Amino acid sequence: MKLIPEIQPTNNPARILLVDDDLSLLKLLSLRLEAAGHQVTTAINGKEALESLQEAIPDVVLSDLRMDELDGLALFEEIQQNHPGLPVIILTAHGTIPDAVEATRQGVYGFLTKPVDKKELFSLIDKATAHRQPEAYPSWHAPLLARSEIMSEILAQAHKAAQTDINLLITGSAGTGKKLLAQCIHQASNRADQELYYLNCNSLPEELLAIELFGEAGQEASNQGLLSKAKGGTLYLEDLDCLPKNLQTQLLHSLQNKTYYPVGSTEPLPLKVRLLASSRLTARQLLEDANLREDLYYLIAVINLQLPDLSERAEDLPLLATHFLHKVAADSGHQVKEFSPEAMQLLAAAPWPGNIRQLIKVIEQCAILSQTSRISSSQVAAALDKETRALPSLNEARSEFERNYLIKVLKLAEGKVTEAARLAGRNRTDFYKLLNKHNLEAARFKEEAKRQKQG
């Protein structure tokens, strides 16, 4: 007689630490998981689970929320401190769902309500362990720390794309890690033994940018453009939408014909470069409002990876915070080692408009000013408060005024970029650069104006 019928073996077997003080449920779930091909270690309480973690680290922890002495949340906090990056899934009764939702916001990977649906259970375990790297690529995305579902999916897409030579566009707000993802994709590709070159399309005047990209006729090999230097490797174009129109046209023809012309030359050279590009604008913005040629967009954005803001990947925050804390401590010589659970909760609840860059800044402040090995919640609160309430510098104040001015102009123009640029006394190209700089979408103001007219 089969105790666990109709359970198909998983294609993604995992090592699971199962924690529950209900022995009957512990046995039932253990049988289900083992029948699916998972390797299960059990613990009847949080203390026993911590002892188990000292002996071996699983791929995921599955824990009941309500347990005596050390409950699921307390266990999660201990795991968060000692094993950042280890996914924790919480099991909860219906009456404790609000607690589970709060736990998810603090970084718990996910939660399931009792009685546990086996399909949901297996699906969540698969998602929680999907970020594990294939053995053939043990370190390709090591610099990009992530365990959240949304980042796991992006990394899976990135790894597949890396195995090809197709062009790729990475989009996302400032500070989300676009350049780092480009590095990881190059590292996972068959071009990893070649150089990865960078060019910020907003860094030079058009004439110098053309020479930097295409090279110049008659120059020695050491002074040739990046399309020549990156031959056989990868070229990453940052802020692609800021590339001047004339150079967009030249790049378009180069990609179409697989050849390019150095500045001042009439002799074409073969184009043998894998192109990665990025923009702070979304795909929709690039197509509807930006300065980018539509045909160039479609040639480059064969695959588009949209990186989420840090606020959309709360499960990654404990992992990121602990990593950056250890890095800052090592670089500065400070003996700070960890965050208190309350401090980590404050970090998880913060909005992070500046994304990972802002997180690093807050952690640096905490680590450098800390007098103990553990950062307290009051230190984190002070650093966050300083970020939000500190007297801005002249540049920051000017930037805030500029952003508010752009918002006002966009509202007056009802989101029409040409009209807004005219009101601001700027050409469309410069105006788009300002919108990009302040992460503003004209489409949002169009929709707002439309709603006001309808209402």
Nearest in space to 348 (alpha carbons), one of 379, 327, 318: 318
Integer angstrom CA distances of residue 318 from 145, 172, 417 = 10, 21, 40
Q: What percentage of the chain reaches a pLDDT higher than 90? A: 33
Residue 203 lies in a domain: yes
The domain boundary residue, chosen from 273, 306, 339? 306
Residues 154, 263, single domain; the answer is yes
Identify the pLDDT of residue 389.
54
Residues 371, 399, single domain; the answer is no
Residues 293, 201, single domain; the answer is yes
- Residue-wise pLDDT for 306-362, tens only, equals 999 998 888 888 888 888 998 888 888 888 888 887 888 888 888 888 899 899 999
When mean pLDDT is compared across 55-69, 192-206, 358-372, 388-402, the lowest value belongs to 388-402
Identify the pLDDT of residue 141.
76
**Would you say residue 455 has pLDDT above 70?**
no
- Residue-wise pLDDT for 19-49, tens only, equals 998 888 888 899 889 888 888 999 999 999 9
The domain boundary residue, chosen from 389, 413, 434? 389
Identify the pLDDT of residue 124.
87
Residues 193, 121, single domain; the answer is no
Q: For the residues 12-19, what does the mean pLDDT come to?
A: 88
Identify the pLDDT of residue 276.
97
Instruction: For 198-264, give the DSSP string.
Output: EEETTSS-HHHHHHHHH-BTT--GGG--HHHHTTTSEEEEESGGGS-HHHHHHHHHHHHHTEE--BT
CATH number, domain with residue 382: 1.10.8.60
Residue 238 lies in a domain: yes
Q: For the residues 381-385, what does the mean pLDDT come to?
A: 87
More confident site: 250 or 73 = 250
d(CA 14, CA 33): 9
Residues 190, 338, single domain; the answer is no
Q: For the residues 109-119, what does the mean pLDDT come to?
A: 83
Identify the pLDDT of residue 331.
86
Instruction: For 278-292, give the DSSP string.
Output: EESS-HHHHHHTSSS
Q: Is 259 exposed, middle or buried (0-12, 13-18, 19+ CB in 10 A)?
A: middle
CATH number, domain with residue 250: 3.40.50.300
Residue 70 lies in a domain: yes
Residues 158, 287, single domain; the answer is yes
Residues 299, 426, single domain; the answer is no
Q: How many Cβ atoms from other residues are within 10 Å of residue 225's Cβ?
A: 22
Domain carrying residue 225 = 149-306
- Residue-wise pLDDT for 165-209, tens only, equals 999 999 999 899 999 999 999 999 999 999 999 999 988 888 889
More confident site: 108 or 423 = 423
CB 310, CB 148: distance < 8 Å: no
More confident site: 215 or 147 = 215
Residues 155, 229, single domain; the answer is yes
CB 211, CB 225: distance < 8 Å: yes
Residues 266, 301, single domain; the answer is yes
Residues 37, 168, single domain; the answer is no
Residue 200 lies in a domain: yes
Residue 50 lies in a domain: yes
- Residue-wise pLDDT for 211-226, tens only, equals 999 998 875 654 689 9
**Would you say residue 101 has pLDDT above 70?**
no
The domain boundary residue, chosen from 371, 389, 407? 389
Q: For the residues 120-144, what does the mean pLDDT come to?
A: 69
With b for 16 or more beta-carbon neighbours within 10 A and e for fewer, the 113-125 pattern comes to beebebeebbebb
Q: For the residues 422-448, what does the mean pLDDT come to?
A: 84
Identify the pLDDT of residue 181.
95
What tokens were used for 181?
């993802």
Residue 142 lies in a domain: no
Residues 286, 318, single domain; the answer is no
Q: For the residues 428-432, what does the mean pLDDT come to?
A: 85
User: What pTM was computed for the model?
Assistant: 0.64
**Would you say residue 135 has pLDDT above 50?**
no
Q: How many Cβ atoms from other residues are within 10 Å of residue 341's Cβ?
A: 16
Instruction: For 311-363, give the DSSP string.
Output: GG-GGGHHHHHHHHHHHHHHHH-----EE-HHHHHHHHHS--TTHHHHHHHHH
Identify the pLDDT of residue 430.
83
Residue 135 lies in a domain: no
Residues 186, 236, single domain; the answer is yes
CATH number, domain with residue 70: 3.40.50.2300
Identify the pLDDT of residue 126.
84
Nearest in space to 85 (alpha carbons), one of 111, 62, 107, 56: 107
Instruction: Give the count of domains, the chain.
Output: 4
Identify the pLDDT of residue 134.
43
When mean pLDDT is compared across 255-264, 295-304, 416-425, the lowest value belongs to 416-425
Report the mean per-residue pLDDT for the chain: 84
At residue 293, what is the residue type? R
Identify the pLDDT of residue 176.
93
Residue 59 lies in a domain: yes
d(CA 455, CA 452): 5
